[in-house]
């Protein structure tokens, strides 16, 4: 539940025209000749003698060898088409080509075999410099984003990106360098330099971060891993003159150097409206051992399970949790603690307005948990089915959670008892709108329960926008 300041590169687009010939198109054959042609396509052995790539400018040929090598292993014509199509998708995924066309022809020349084939990929490279303008939705905030990209900087699918973002609560700019491993695009290195200025009205706090990070992403079996180092100079200040003394005490400069590891397993069929599958994400962060004046160990996890029921309805259950343990006797910083509450977590409560507070300013906590149970259904009477109406869902929800500070001198039983005390929960119903496959909007009617002294509630209609929901 904190804000990730280092902006990673977006997933690379996969645009381009379809293959001129695709295996799925091979069904419209004249009836009398269908058996003979099908036999030729499926049973006649062929040999791919040459694979050519035309249209290269600054791209290095050795990079493409990893992506198209499987074409040489094709055994018949249909296999050639399938492997060529897969190779085309891999080339587009690199983000360095605007178009990729595939041509398959019989081999020619003195070394041509009777059953030899030549496969040619005709590519169009993207421009050396591209610009973009778009809007971005965060957790209950929006931003305007301007970007400049230099794709394929050194000829092996590297990308250099400069991005400026101006939002309702946050303004940032950063420089990012992306380098994939040739032949294994999911294994990549990302370097970031950034400055982020954010406002946190629930804490009467403003924060300016200037930092650098390096992260290495790689798959391992069914899991995906991220190893990251981040060094950040943080400047905390009061957002309002009425800020509490506890927030004023936190004001000033600090330096954090942290190592983190994230592992995730995601079998969901959609990130926004999943109807089946599960997600497990575990993150560990260790600060202080590589320098800086912030020292802590932080662990948090996210679990989500989805099950399709009758009439296209889906039952979804989520569980979040985390603990922060200061190291060396130093108190934790307000910038590192967890926050809970609002339309993206425990609905019916104000944004991050659960837990420890001082004079109306919420200070966050060192331990939290939150759970949610949802029943998603199509809109009543299914208006716009198969089109615009499929972007909407109705949902009924039950949320619960708690945020507090723990005395680490006590045992696990005392910790569990503390986490179970002062339980906040809520229930309600609403409408959900999917924005692409990256974000969603919610308009809910909420009934908060278990309200504690100092909590801020939103009894009735509550609006939320974000990319991560409980």
Rounded Cα distance between 445 and 464, Å, is 11
Q: Which residue is associated with the tokens 């991560």?
A: 468
Contacts of 246 (CB under 8 A, 6+ apart): 358, 359, 361, 363
> Is residue 79 within a helix (H) or strand (E), and if so which, with residue range?
helix 77-93
DSSP β-ladder status, 47-54 and 116-125: parallel
The closest of 171, 149, 167, 166 to 158, measured between CA atoms, is 149
Contacts of 225 (CB under 8 A, 6+ apart): 217, 218, 219, 261, 262, 263
For the segment 266-290, the average pLDDT, to the nearest whole number, is 93
Question: Does residue 11 carry a pLDDT above 70?
Answer: no
| pLDDT of amino acid 44 | 78
The closest of 234, 228, 283 to 259, measured between CA atoms, is 228
Do 88 and 123 contact (CB within 8 A), yes or no? no
Question: Does residue 149 carry a pLDDT above 90?
Answer: yes
Q: Which residue is associated with the tokens 């990106």?
A: 161
Least confident of 235-244, 260-269, 387-396: 387-396
Question: Which conformational region is residue 143 in: left (phi greater than 0), alpha (psi within -120 to 50 degrees), or beta?
Answer: beta
25: confidence class by pLDDT, cuts 50, 70, 90: very low
Q: What domains, with CATH codes, occur in the chain?
A: 2-125 (3.10.20.310), 183-466 (2.40.160.50)
Question: Does residue 179 carry a pLDDT above 70?
Answer: yes
Rounded Cα distance between 39 and 5, Å, is 58
Reduced DSSP (H G I as helix, E B as strand, rest coil) percent helix, strand, coil of the chain, to 5: 15, 50, 35
DSSP β-ladder status, 170-181 and 184-200: antiparallel
| pLDDT of amino acid 346 | 93
| pLDDT of amino acid 36 | 52
Do 217 and 224 contact (CB within 8 A), yes or no? yes
> Is residue 92 within a helix (H) or strand (E), and if so which, with residue range?
helix 77-93
Phi, psi for residue 326 in degrees, rounded to 5: -60, 150
| pLDDT of amino acid 110 | 82
| pLDDT of amino acid 265 | 96
| pLDDT of amino acid 422 | 82
Question: Does residue 241 carry a pLDDT above 70?
Answer: yes
384: confidence class by pLDDT, cuts 50, 70, 90: low
Question: Does residue 273 carry a pLDDT above 70?
Answer: yes
Rounded Cα distance between 391 and 197, Å, is 34
Rounded Cα distance between 458 and 202, Å, is 14
35: confidence class by pLDDT, cuts 50, 70, 90: very low
For the segment 16-27, the average pLDDT, to the nearest whole number, is 39
The closest of 413, 435, 426, 343 to 135, measured between CA atoms, is 435
Contacts of 159 (CB under 8 A, 6+ apart): 9, 95, 149, 150, 151, 152, 153, 177, 178
Question: Does residue 446 carry a pLDDT above 90?
Answer: yes
| pLDDT of amino acid 181 | 92
For the segment 226-242, the average pLDDT, to the nearest whole number, is 93
Rounded Cα distance between 135 and 144, Å, is 5
Rounded Cα distance between 330 and 333, Å, is 9
Do 436 and 416 contact (CB within 8 A), yes or no? no
User: What are the tens digits of pLDDT across the range 287-306?
Assistant: 998 888 899 999 999 999 99
The closest of 359, 408, 47, 311 to 203, measured between CA atoms, is 359
- What six digits make up the tokens of 109? 């020349």
Rounded Cα distance between 133 and 360, Å, is 38
The closest of 87, 93, 85, 96 to 65, measured between CA atoms, is 87
Do 348 and 322 contact (CB within 8 A), yes or no? no
39: confidence class by pLDDT, cuts 50, 70, 90: low
> Is residue 407 within a helix (H) or strand (E), and if so which, with residue range?
none
| pLDDT of amino acid 43 | 67
| pLDDT of amino acid 317 | 96
First to last CA, the chain: 11
Average pLDDT of the chain, as a whole number: 86
User: What are the tens digits of pLDDT across the range 420-435?
Assistant: 888 999 999 999 998 8
- What six digits make up the tokens of 236? 């905390």
> How many CA atoms lie within 13 Å of 435's alpha carbon, on the beta-carbon side?
15
| pLDDT of amino acid 425 | 94
For the segment 257-276, the average pLDDT, to the nearest whole number, is 94
Rounded Cα distance between 52 and 443, Å, is 54
Neighbouring CB atoms inside 10 A of 30's CB total 7
Question: Does residue 419 carry a pLDDT above 60?
Answer: yes
Between 134 and 433, the more confident residue is: 433
Between 283 and 66, the more confident residue is: 283
| pLDDT of amino acid 75 | 87
Question: Does residue 28 carry a pLDDT above 70?
Answer: no
For the segment 381-396, the average pLDDT, to the nearest whole number, is 78
| pLDDT of amino acid 41 | 54
For the segment 26-32, the average pLDDT, to the nearest whole number, is 44
Question: Helices 61-68 and 77-93: crossing angle, nearest 10°?
Answer: 130
Q: Which residue is associated with the tokens 């292993």?
A: 73
316: confidence class by pLDDT, cuts 50, 70, 90: very high
- Range from 47-61, 108-122, 361-375 that averages highest in pLDDT: 361-375
Rounded Cα distance between 90 and 94, Å, is 7
140: confidence class by pLDDT, cuts 50, 70, 90: low
Phi, psi for residue 455 in degrees, rounded to 5: -70, 145
For the segment 248-270, the average pLDDT, to the nearest whole number, is 94
7: confidence class by pLDDT, cuts 50, 70, 90: very low
């Amino acid at each position: 539940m904190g804000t990730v300041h280092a902006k990673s590169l977006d997933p690379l687009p996969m645009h381009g025209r379809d293959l001129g010939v695709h295996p799925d198109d091979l069904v419209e054959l004249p009836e009398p000749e269908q058996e003979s042609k099908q036999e030729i396509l499926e049973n006649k052995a062929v040999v791919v003698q040459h694979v050519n790539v035309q249209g290269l400018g600054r791209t290095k040929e050795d990079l493409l060898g990893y992506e198209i090598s499987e074409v040489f292993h094709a055994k018949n014509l249909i296999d050639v088409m399938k492997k060529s199509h897969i190779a085309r998708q891999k080339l587009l995924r690199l983000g360095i080509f605007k178009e990729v066309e595939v041509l398959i022809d019989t081999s020619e020349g003195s070394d041509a075999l009777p059953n030899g084939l030549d496969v040619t990929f005709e590519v169009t490279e993207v421009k050396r410099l591209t610009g973009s303008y778009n809007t971005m939705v965060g957790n209950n905030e929006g931003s305007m984003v301007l970007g400049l990209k230099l794709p394929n900087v050194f000829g092996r699918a590297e990308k250099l990106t400069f991005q400026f973002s101006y939002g309702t609560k946050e303004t940032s700019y950063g420089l990012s360098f992306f380098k994939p491993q040739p032949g294994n695009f999911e294994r990549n290195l990302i370097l970031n330099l950034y400055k982020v200025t954010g406002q946190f009205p629930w804490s009467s706090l403003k924060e300016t971060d200037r930092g650098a990070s390096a992260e290495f992403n790689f798959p391992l079996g069914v899991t995906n891993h991220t190893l990251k180092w981040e060094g950040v100079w943080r400047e905390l200040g009061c957002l309002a003159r009425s800020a509490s003394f506890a927030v004023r005490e936190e004001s000033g400069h600090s330096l954090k150097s942290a190592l983190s590891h994230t592992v995730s397993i995601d079998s969901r069929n959609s990130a926004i409206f999943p109807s089946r599958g599960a997600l497990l994400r575990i993150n560990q962060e260790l600060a202080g051992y590589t320098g800086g004046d912030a020292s802590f160990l932080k662990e948090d996890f996210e679990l989500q399970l989805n099950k399709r029921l009758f009439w296209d309805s889906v039952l979804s259950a989520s569980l979040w949790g985390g603990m922060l343990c200061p190291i060396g006797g130093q108190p934790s910083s307000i910038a590192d603690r967890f926050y809970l509450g609002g339309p993206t977590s425990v609905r019916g409560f104000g944004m991050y307005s659960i837990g420890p507070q001082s004079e109306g300013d919420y200070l966050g906590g060192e331990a939290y948990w939150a759970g949610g149970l949802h029943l998603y259904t199509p809109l009543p009477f299914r208006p716009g089915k198969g089109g615009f109406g499929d972007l909407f869902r109705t949902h009924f929800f039950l949320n619960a959670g708690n945020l507090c500070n723990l005395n680490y001198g006590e045992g696990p039983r005392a910790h569990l008892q503390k986490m179970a005390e002062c339980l906040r929960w809520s229930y309600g119903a609403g409408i959900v709108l999917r924005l692409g496959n990256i974000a969603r909007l919610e308009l809910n009617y909420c009934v908060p329960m278990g309200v504690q002294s100092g909590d801020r509630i939103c009894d009735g209609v509550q609006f939320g926008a974000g990319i991560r929901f409980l």
